């Protein structure tokens, strides 16, 4: 997470994308929010942050307590990064990663186990330690 109160428009995250032949750091931030049905993220990453990314989360209510989550994620690489994406099979690894992430999200939300109190923020819990 990129800030302590990381929710709503402006909330962001930095993460590493592991792929064969290369691993890149990516940043993303929420740019549009129509609670509770739409979240739009814009980001960038790769070498010198040359690869722009977009992610759209759509939540649709179904019968009973069923909610359908659709995620659309795409990148806009430059010519050099496009060649690297094709050579490393990035599309395959991204699809696989999203499938696993959505499966973990489903399992977490549907399980009877207690949920974590909050997500950790880099730099530790400043509220508990008293550091401003």
pLDDT in tens, 58-82: 999 888 878 888 999 888 888 877 7
**Can you give the residue range of the structural domain that contains 103?**
12-113
Is the pLDDT reported for residue 42 higher than 90?
yes
- In which band, very low, low, confident or very high, does the pLDDT at 40 lie, cut at 50, 70 and 90? very high
Does 5 reside within a domain? no
Q: Which residues contact 128 (CB under 8 A, 6 or more apart)?
A: none
Which among 37, 41, 15, 39 has a CA at the least distance from the CA of 29? 41
46-57 pLDDT per residue, tens: 878 888 999 999
Does 6 reside within a domain? no
Q: How many domains does the chain have?
A: 1
Does 77 reside within a domain? yes
Does 95 reside within a domain? yes
């Amino acid at each position: 997470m990129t800030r302590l109160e990381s929710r709503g428009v402006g909330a962001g995250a930095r993460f590493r994308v592991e792929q064969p032949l290369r691993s890149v750091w990516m940043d993303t931030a929420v740019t549009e929010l129509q609670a509770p049905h739409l979240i739009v993220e814009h980001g960038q990453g790769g070498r010198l942050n040359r690869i722009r990314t977009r992610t759209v989360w759509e939540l649709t209510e179904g019968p009973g307590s069923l909610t359908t989550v659709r995620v659309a994620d795409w990148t806009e690489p430059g010519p050099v990064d496009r060649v690297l994406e094709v050579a490393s099979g990035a599309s395959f690894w991204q699809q696989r990663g999203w499938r696993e992430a959505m499966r973990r999200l489903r399992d977490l939300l549907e399980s009877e186990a207690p949920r974590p109190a909050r997500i950790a923020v880099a730099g530790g819990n400043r509220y508990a330690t008293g550091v401003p």
